[in-house]
C-alpha cells in the first residue's frame, strides 16, 4: 500500500513538474516571439527585448547563445547600464535613404544564425539588404557620434569601418564598396556622417567581391571585462528605422 502511495506521489510530482517546465518554456518562447514583432521605444524596451531574446536563444540553441553573447553574471541594473552604453547616442539609421526614392533596403533578425565561411560560426550582426545589386549605390552613415577605431580589409568583413561611440559601444560596418573621402583612423565623426558606400566585399583575400549580394553587415559590440561581446543590432535598427534623425 505504502509503495503504491509513493509511486502515486512520484507520478503527481512528475506530472506537475512537466506542466511547470513546459509552461515556462512556452512563456519564454512566446515572449521572445512577441518581441520579434515589436520595435523598442525606450531603453527599458530595448533592454527587455535583448534579455528575453537571450533567454529564448539559450533554450533554442543549447546555451550557446547565452554563453557567447551575454555576460553571465549580470543582473538588473548591470544589464541596464550595459545596454544603455549602446542606446546612448544612437541617432541615425546606418543606410541613408535613396535620394531618388527608387531603391529600398530591408533587414531581418538574423543575429546568431549559422554562417559557414571561415568555419562554422554564428552571425554576429544584422544584414541590411539592398533592392538593387549595385555596388556604391547606397551611402553608409555613422549611427552615432564617435571615433574611427578600425579601417581596412578583413577576410570575413571585406572593407570595413569600426566606430567607437562616445558612450563606448563599438559599431561595425562591413562589406563596404568604398570609404568616404579622407576618412582615417582616429577621425571624429558625427551621427549621420557618410563613412562609405554599400558593397559586397569580403569572403577572400583583399579586393574579393561578388561572393554574396550587395548589403551592409552591421554589428554591435561591447567590451565586458576585457572580452568583446556581440549584441543583437536588430532592435537598434528597428528603433532607428522610425526614429532616425537622418534624412
How near is the Cβ of 123 to Zn ion at its closest, in Å?
Answer: 6
Distance separating alpha carbons of residues 220 and 230, to the nearest angstrom: 6
**Which residues bind to Zn ion, rule: CB under 5 A?**
125, 127, 217
How near is the Cβ of 114 to Zn ion at its closest, in Å?
Answer: 12
Residue, CB closest to Zn ion: 217
The distance from CA 22 to its chain's CA centroid, rounded to whole angstroms, is 29
Helix (H, G, I), strand (E, B) or coil at 86: helix
Name the residue nearer to Zn ion (CB basis): 145 or 200.
Answer: 200
Name the residue nearer to Zn ion (CB basis): 16 or 113.
Answer: 113
Distance separating alpha carbons of residues 214 and 234, to the nearest angstrom: 19
How near is the Cβ of 127 to Zn ion at its closest, in Å?
Answer: 4
Question: Which of 235, 151, 161 lies closest to 198 in space, CA to CA?
Answer: 161
Name the residue nearer to Zn ion (CB basis): 127 or 145.
Answer: 127
Helix (H, G, I), strand (E, B) or coil at 99: coil
Torsions phi, psi for 162 (to 5 deg): -115, 125
How near is the Cβ of 230 to Zn ion at its closest, in Å?
Answer: 11
Q: Which residues pair with 228 in a beta bridge?
A: 223
Q: Are β-strands 227-231 and 188-189 bridged in parallel, bridged antiparallel, or unpaired? A: unpaired
Name the residue nearer to Zn ion (CB basis): 51 or 196.
Answer: 196
How near is the Cβ of 215 to Zn ion at its closest, in Å?
Answer: 7
DSSP structure class, residue 91: -
Name the residue nearer to Zn ion (CB basis): 107 or 145.
Answer: 107
How near is the Cβ of 217 to Zn ion at its closest, in Å?
Answer: 3
User: For the range 20-28, what are the long-range contacts, defined as Cβ-Cβ under 8 Å and sequence gap of 24 or more?
Assistant: 25/59, 28/52, 28/55, 28/56, 28/59
The cell 533554442 sits on which residue? Answer: 60
Name the residue nearer to Zn ion (CB basis): 114 or 206.
Answer: 114
Helix (H, G, I), strand (E, B) or coil at 167: coil
Amino acid at each position: 500500500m505504502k509503495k503504491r502511495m509513493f509511486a502515486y506521489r512520484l507520478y503527481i510530482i512528475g506530472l506537475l513538474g512537466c506542466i511547470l517546465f513546459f509552461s515556462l518554456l512556452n512563456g519564454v518562447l512566446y515572449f521572445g516571439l512577441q518581441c520579434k514583432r515589436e520595435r523598442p521605444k525606450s531603453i527599458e524596451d530595448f533592454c527587455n527585448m535583448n534579455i528575453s531574446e537571450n533567454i529564448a536563444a539559450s533554450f533554442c540553441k543549447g546555451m550557446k547563445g547565452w554563453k557567447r553573447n551575454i555576460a553571465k553574471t549580470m543582473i538588473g541594473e548591470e544589464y541596464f547600464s550595459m545596454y544603455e552604453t549602446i542606446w546612448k547616442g544612437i541617432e541615425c539609421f546606418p543606410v541613408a535613404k535613396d535620394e531618388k526614392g527608387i531603391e529600398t533596403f530591408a533587414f531581418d533578425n538574423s543575429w546568431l544564425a549559422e554562417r559557414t565561411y571561415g568555419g562554422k560560426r554564428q552571425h554576429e550582426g544584422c544584414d541590411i539588404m539592398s533592392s538593387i545589386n549595385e555596388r556604391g549605390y547606397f551611402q553608409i552613415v555613422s549611427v552615432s557620434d564617435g571615433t574611427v577605431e578600425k579601417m581596412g580589409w578583413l577576410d570575413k568583413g571585406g572593407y570595413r569601418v569600426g566606430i567607437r561611440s562616445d558612450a563606448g559601444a563599438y559599431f561595425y560596418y562591413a562589406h563596404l564598396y568604398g570609404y568616404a573621402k579622407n576618412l582615417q583612423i582616429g577621425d571624429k565623426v558625427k551621427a549621420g556622417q557618410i563613412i562609405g558606400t554599400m558593397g559586397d566585399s569580403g569572403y577572400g583575400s583583399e579586393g574579393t567581391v561578388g561572393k554574396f549580394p550587395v548589403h551592409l553587415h552591421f554589428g554591435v559590440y561591447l567590451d565586458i571585462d576585457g572580452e568583446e561581446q556581440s549584441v543583437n543590432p536588430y532592435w537598434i535598427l528597428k528603433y532607428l528605422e522610425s526614429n532616425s534623425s537622418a534624412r
